Structure 1
Amino acid sequence: KITSLIILLGLFSWVASAQIPGSFVTSPDKHLSVQLTLKDGLAGYQVFKNNQPLLAPSALGLVLTDVDLSKNLKEVSKSPEKTITQTYAMCNAKKANLRYQAKQRSWTLATPTGQSLEIIFQVSNDAVAFRYRVKRPKEAISKVESEPTSFAFLAESRAWLQPMAVAKSGWEATNPSYEETYEQDIAVGTPSTKGAGWVYPALFKTKDTWILLTEAGLDSTYCATRLQDQSPGGEYFIGFPDAREVIKDKNLKPRARGTFQSPWRVLTIGNLATLIESTAGTDLALPAQKVDADFI
């Protein structure tokens, strides 16, 4: 108990020294909140439920081939908190008619050379989501080398994770096929059994609260991601695809022209019933596009 108290005091001390005034976003029902931190030029965030930490301070940022947006950052501006309300319908889903409401706030940070990084947080009653937006000249080509986003779980957290299969392994070299067996109730920080990372959705439990981690709102400018194999101290990092997974004559890593944004990083939070009933994944997905169905 004394050790746990010391760890908690250390976390609160770190946050207090790094927090930006007005840096919280709180869910409409006031139970979930997220805080942006900026310390020694490094951006981070922390998630709370009923004012108790669910995640330890975790990293934010992007690394492009021509500029590092993960360090030497300073605050430029922040938006006021606003309410986002959206309604939509689905033919085959948990509900036919859905209503999404969340609180949104964004921060703009910048490097010493003036390149900006906007971090957008949206917090609903059952999920914390965030994404990056990078403003570039209209004709500029941006290539993302890595995304050092992390999810630092508390030491006592447990995990239910599916290992990523090694690329080009298995029947007819078709892996990864996302058909591996989930490792159940393992300690956070346990390396992947196959050495290739972990797939989404990734399930965690901290005390009596469950957290389901995934991504949403992916478009053609960004690659699908996974969690990296190594998670020292229970801190999981975003990983990009294996080079062997690239489609011929296509890009392996994110590449965009002009201003671009990342997918949403989504943490659905609550009891198991909340996770099962949540529609956070479709709430944050891109709108459906009409297609010519004559081929069916």
Structure 2
Amino acid sequence: MTDATETKQIICEQGKFFGRLIVRRKLRNILLFLFFFTCTSGFFSVAARPVRVSSPNNCIQVELHEQEELGGWILRVNYMDSGRTVLVIPKITLGLSRSDQDFSSELKFLKVGKSRLVNERYIAIHGKRSQCSNQANEVVVSFENPSKAKMNLIVRAYNDGITFRYEFPEKEGTFVVKDEFTAYAIPDSTVRWLTKFNPANEGLYSAQTNGNEQNDWGYPALFNTPDKACWYLIHEADLDRSYCGTKLTNFGEKTKYKLTFPDKWNGREKGETQPTIMLPWKSPWRVIIVGTLADIVESTLVDDVSAPSTVAKTDWVQPGKASWNYWSDNHGTRSYKTVCAFADLAASMGWPYTLLDWEWDAMTDGGNLEDALKYIHSVGVKPLIWYNSGGEHTWVNATPKDRMLTHENRMEEFAKLKKLGIYGVKVDFFESEKQDMINYYIDILEDAAKFEIMVYFHGCLVPRGWARTYPHLMTYEGVRGAEWYNNGSEFTSTAPEHNAILPFTRNVVGSMDYTPVTFTNSQYPHITSYGHELALSVLFESGIQHWADRPEGYYNLPDAAKNFLREVPNAWDDTKFLDGLPGKDVILARRKGAIWYVGGINSEIRRDKNKALKFNFLPKGGKYRLTLIADGEYDTEFSTRYLVVDNNSEIVVKMLRRGGFAASLKPIN
């Protein structure tokens, strides 16, 4: 029995005793009312002004209030910090506008349903945690507008955040959603980490202290309350065919971040900007992860609230590491010899996969695609292959362009790939989050599953919880990754800070194909240390982790670092945040089976850092053999130590400027 359950039972028993006393004093009706609400996990007033629902651990509370002067409704989010209540978000504006009528003002409260405990467990094949729990207190609040049309608001309070969604419960009808009025009021002096929206979601994050910069902002967005007591991350989840992706916009009111539909120009103006819905209908979940930085980083809330897996048999879904030739040679797949060299790299390092990126259909230099596939299989490696998403929504003409575009194309192509022994497809250049493009993403996933082919997306949206619904969706780009060392000189200087922001933002919400861990240089150099690069193998989570460097970049490593990259997993049983601040530094520990791995980086441009590394995340009573691979005297040198540690141990690790470290902890039997 959990502490929260025991507390709830004690409260309920006290309420029963108190109710009997008052009944004797002839106040039976009043106290029965109080008793009813004492025994529920949330508190609701009779007129739902306000409606309150609390998380199972009572640390997070969301309230529904009526804005009487406007005739609308808002949510307010609170967080309990060391016994005091912190106002996290003072106002979340609610409402929708449909092509037939409005559901934002003059909404009449009808009822609030009985509080329901959502309590389910599921297994994640890849991600930051394998054993996941979807547990929350939920209420459904019912409204009607002046024309008597109904709208429900479904609200959940989790131990690590709150979620809400809209519902039209009527059984029939097709309408266009003209606008969604969900908007988050963020007071100035709130520190925020935001990225300017673009359809490829490959921007940098910038730290801001107010809303003076007005723009379209991408998900997820990270905030720290003015009193520094609470952090929260705003996102959305369980996006399906019935809606479009949204972004945040603070044009007009600088402190009001409103959900906004895609722009007309996205996807070369193909597709409608406003979604068409069929009743009954539920919107995607609006997600706010709330708490400490550890709560943010360790959360699986985006996946938790998303639909369960649609794939019954999943033994063919195999996370793993892949060699990737594009970073070091943009035209690498055009060369049969290069493809073979990267297959040899994967075989030598024990990585299961190698990726054939663009231009595989133009391969020469000693062999063609069939020759390359034969060689890859002969060395015990599994091939993955790239495709252009095709169609008029993308300006990129790289071939093959149209083989993923229609159901007939896909069924024919996937049948060929299955016969050729290809295990996964990378589909690129979507360039839109309009409803038609959301349908296209899901079409690819559903058709690929029929042939047991894994999928990952590039030039794409950021995760919306689909990895739970479609577990063969291994990763997404949706990030400014190492590829940007090929796009210009800017990433050389911005990467260290950027890398220390991503574990608190983009990688929180799902797998991230950053293509990390490079020791040589691409078209533009990097200034991160070797220790920093090695640490990214732990810090950055991706269901298929593409190591981007050329073969000699790995072959020339010292044995300890080389063995670390052979052994480090990329799908995890648990994740722990140990230390750090966005853009400054970060240390994470991740577990696979009984073995723990730790990665830490320093983003400071000029200053070395000494960090105390505590091992209190280890089980008590056990001894572990620590292999610590840290920065040496200069950027391209490692310093390796071997120690025996336990739960009470603590060591100091030095990180150079732009430096880092990686470590493994293996139990001593």
TM norm structure 1: 0.84
* 1:234 alignment partner AA: T
1:48 equivalent to 2:67? Answer no
> Residue 189 of structure 2: which of 146, 153, 156 is its match?
156
User: Which has the larger displacement, 124-133 or 150-159?
Assistant: 150-159
1:36 equivalent to 2:59? Answer no
Distance in 2 of aligned mates of 1:263 and 1:69: 17
Task: Give the superposed CA RMSD.
Answer: 1.8
Distance in 2 of aligned mates of 1:190 and 1:162: 14
Work out whether residues 213 and 254 of structure 2, in 8 Å CA contact, stay in contact via their aligned partners in 1: no
Partner of 2:51: 23
Please, which runs of 5 or more residues in structure 2 have no aligned partner? 1-46, 312-448, 455-669
Alignment of 1:134-213 (within 5 A): 134-138=168-172, 140-165=173-198, 176-184=199-207, 186-192=208-214, 195=215, 197-206=216-225, 207-208=227-228, 209-213=230-234
Shift of 1:256: 1.5
1:232 equivalent to 2:253? Answer yes
Distance in 1 of aligned mates of 2:76 and 2:206: 26
TM norm structure 2: 0.38
> Residue 294 of structure 2: which of 273, 283, 294 is its match?
273
Partner of 1:16: none
Work out whether residues 212 and 254 of structure 2, in 8 Å CA contact, stay in contact via their aligned partners in 1: no
Partner of 1:220: 241
Distance in 2 of aligned mates of 1:295 and 1:22: 49
Partner of 1:173: none
Distance in 2 of aligned mates of 1:260 and 1:210: 32
Structure 1 pair 280–294 and aligned structure 2 pair: CA distance change class (3 A): closer
Partner of 1:292: 450
Distance in 2 of aligned mates of 1:161 and 1:249: 27
Aligned length: 263
Shift of 1:270: 1.2
Partner of 2:110: 76
Deviation sequence 1:5-46 (CA, Å, 0-9, x none): xxxxxxxxxxxxxx8346000001111000011122201110
Distance in 2 of aligned mates of 1:84 and 1:247: 42
Shift of 1:187: 2.2
Distance in 2 of aligned mates of 1:247 and 1:223: 16
Determine which structure has greater relative contact order: mean sequence separation of CA pairs < 8 Å that are 6+ residues apart, divided by chain length.
1
Work out whether residues 152 and 235 of structure 1, in 8 Å CA contact, stay in contact via their aligned partners in 2: yes
Distance in 2 of aligned mates of 1:294 and 1:270: 39
The structure having more radius of gyration, on CA atoms, is 2
Distance in 1 of aligned mates of 2:276 and 2:113: 27
Q: Please state whether the residue corresponding to 2:162 is helix, strand or coil.
A: strand
User: Which has the larger displacement, 129-138 or 19-28?
Assistant: 19-28
Work out whether residues 150 and 236 of structure 1, in 8 Å CA contact, stay in contact via their aligned partners in 2: yes
Partner of 2:277: 256
Partner of 1:114: 148
Q: Please state whether the residue corresponding to 1:55 is helix, strand or coil.
A: strand
Shift of 1:53: 1.1
Partner of 1:3: none
Work out whether residues 190 and 231 of structure 1, in 8 Å CA contact, stay in contact via their aligned partners in 2: no
Work out whether residues 48 and 64 of structure 2, in 8 Å CA contact, stay in contact via their aligned partners in 1: yes
* 2:201 alignment partner AA: Y
Structure 1 pair 265–247 and aligned structure 2 pair: CA distance change class (3 A): farther
Deviation sequence 1:89-124 (CA, Å, 0-9, x none): 111111112112100011011111101110011111
Distance in 2 of aligned mates of 1:284 and 1:231: 32
Shift of 1:85: 0.3
1:241 equivalent to 2:262? Answer yes
Percent sequence identity over matched residues?
27
Distance in 1 of aligned mates of 2:49 and 2:65: 9
Work out whether residues 53 and 157 of structure 2, in 8 Å CA contact, stay in contact via their aligned partners in 1: yes
Work out whether residues 78 and 105 of structure 1, in 8 Å CA contact, stay in contact via their aligned partners in 2: yes
Structure 1 pair 35–88 and aligned structure 2 pair: CA distance change class (3 A): same
Structure 1 pair 231–280 and aligned structure 2 pair: CA distance change class (3 A): farther
* 1:153 alignment partner AA: I
Partner of 1:127: 161
Distance in 1 of aligned mates of 2:141 and 2:87: 21
Q: Please state whether the residue corresponding to 2:120 is helix, strand or coil.
A: strand
Shift of 1:136: 3.1
Shift of 1:73: 0.7
Q: Please state whether the residue corresponding to 2:184 is helix, strand or coil.
A: strand
Please, which runs of 5 or more residues in structure 1 have no aligned partner? 1-18, 166-175
Higher helix share: 2
Distance in 2 of aligned mates of 1:20 and 1:155: 30
Distance in 2 of aligned mates of 1:54 and 1:159: 13
Distance in 2 of aligned mates of 1:273 and 1:110: 40
Distance in 2 of aligned mates of 1:237 and 1:163: 14
* 2:87 alignment partner AA: P
* 1:37 alignment partner AA: H
Deviation sequence 1:110-164 (CA, Å, 0-9, x none): 11110111001111111110000012342x1121011111111233211100001
Work out whether residues 264 and 272 of structure 2, in 8 Å CA contact, stay in contact via their aligned partners in 1: no
* 2:210 alignment partner AA: V
Distance in 1 of aligned mates of 2:301 and 2:252: 25
Q: Please state whether the residue corresponding to 1:232 is helix, strand or coil.
A: coil
Shift of 1:293: 3.0
